[in-house]
Structure 1
Amino acid sequence: MIFETERLIVREWRDTPDDLDRVFEIYRHDEVTRWIGMEEPLKSPDEARTVMTRWQARYEKNEHKYGPWAMEIKASGIVAGTVLLGPLPEPSDGSEGRGEIEVGWHLHPDSWGHGYATEAARGALELAFGRYEVPEVYAVAYPTNERSIAVMQRLGMSPRGLTTRWYGREAQCYVTLPRQRAASN
């Protein structure tokens, strides 16, 4: 377990049939993948295994400090989606990277509207500022992704405007600092 909230257990994704099935179920939906820059939704369970292998390599590379993690609902044991905390990719705009840390979330449509993204992201921010002592955390979303922007606002993050710094696309950028977190709680 990475951390726990009132309703969620946040843990690494595991190479098990249940987790592989849920990865496929989450990322086979266009209404999920279109917001996260995937070229197309997953087409088969084998593609879910490829995703899982990539995530497990990321866990090892980052000594299990960061990741895309499963957010498991305590009451049902169902994985609602993924919450991530980790370094943003090297800038795609030609500028130099500064090791910026990102928080993000991807939920299965059956888990939308329950507050899981906000709850898991709050826990990830507490981890970032508490245990990891990072100076600031970013979140980015397509400008038309109103649901994710609403989560950023509920988290008390401050808008920084549009950017093309990461992921090779225009994104709405938000940031939060440890002082902002304390003020928004």
Structure 2
Amino acid sequence: MNVMETKRLHIREFTRGDLPFLHAIFSDQETMQYYPAPFTIEKTQEWIARNQERYTRDGHGLWAICLKDTNELIGDCGLVKQVVEGRSEIEIGYHVHKNHWSHGYATEAAIACKEFGFTHLKFKRLISIIDPSNEASIRVAKKVGLCKEKEAVIFNKLHMIYSVSQI
């Protein structure tokens, strides 16, 4: 199911059929360098199932980013519930396979997710949780309009919290 479109991207719900394509992304060492480890096939399968549950329960989750021209799945982007220092937050999260870095796809998808979150889901505030050494993700957050708010320990590691509120 298509959730939204941008100039160059289809953003849609994940299906079980996406497993081999998503695993090619999540098992790549460089693409997943800011995670504890690349994903196994089982972890990728669980990740798809968890997002499918989110679609039903929350009305949002992480969605597949596909190129309109080729329909190739190049990553994910979406809105996910997180807890930061005891507070429930909605995170804009994104991953794009290294073969598609530096083309603006993460920014394009994240802007669409921000607009969807504010317009359709009526969120008042969105965050991104970013590893302090992930300069590319920081650039994306800034281009999307998020500003550094604070540092917090999340997932047993220090992260920066970027945020944006609806005006």
**What residue number does 1:25 align with?**
24
1:120 partner SS: helix
Residues matched between the structures, number = 166
CA shift at 1:148, angstroms?
A: 0.1
CA RMSD of aligned residues (A): 1.5
Letter in 2 for 1:7: R
**What residue number does 2:133 align with?**
144
Structure 2 unaligned spans of 5+? none
CA shift at 1:69, angstroms?
A: 0.3
Fraction of identical pairs, as percent = 28
Is 1:96 equivalent to 2:86 in the alignment? yes
Normalised by the length of structure 2, the TM-score is: 0.92
1:53 alignment partner, one of 49, 55, 62: 49
Q: Which has the larger radius of gyration?
A: 1
Counterpart-to-counterpart distance in 1, 2:159 and 2:29: 19
CA shift at 1:161, angstroms?
A: 2.9
Counterpart-to-counterpart distance in 2, 1:177 and 1:151: 17
Is 1:168 equivalent to 2:164 in the alignment? no
**What residue number does 2:96 align with?**
107
2:31 partner SS: helix
CA shift at 1:54, angstroms?
A: 2.4
**What residue number does 2:123 align with?**
134
Normalised by the length of structure 1, the TM-score is: 0.83
Letter in 1 for 2:37: E
**What residue number does 2:38 align with?**
41
Structure 1 unaligned spans of 5+? 180-185
Counterpart-to-counterpart distance in 1, 2:156 and 2:25: 24
**What residue number does 1:119 align with?**
108
Higher strand proportion (structure 1 or 2): 2
2:38 partner SS: coil
CA shift at 1:47, angstroms?
A: 4.2
2:95 partner SS: strand
**What residue number does 1:182 align with?**
none
1:31 partner SS: coil
Any idea what the Cα deviations from partners look like across 1:74-118, whole Å, max 9, x if unmatched?
Answer: 011101100021211x34xxx432x21110101111111110000
**What residue number does 1:155 align with?**
144
| 8 A contact 2:80–2:93 mirrored in 1 | no
The change in CA–CA distance for 1:24 and 1:161 in structure 2 (over 3 A counts) is: same
Any idea what the Cα deviations from partners look like across 1:14-33, whole Å, max 9, x if unmatched?
Answer: 111xx111111000112222
Counterpart-to-counterpart distance in 2, 1:75 and 1:176: 31
Counterpart-to-counterpart distance in 2, 1:4 and 1:130: 15
**What residue number does 2:65 align with?**
71
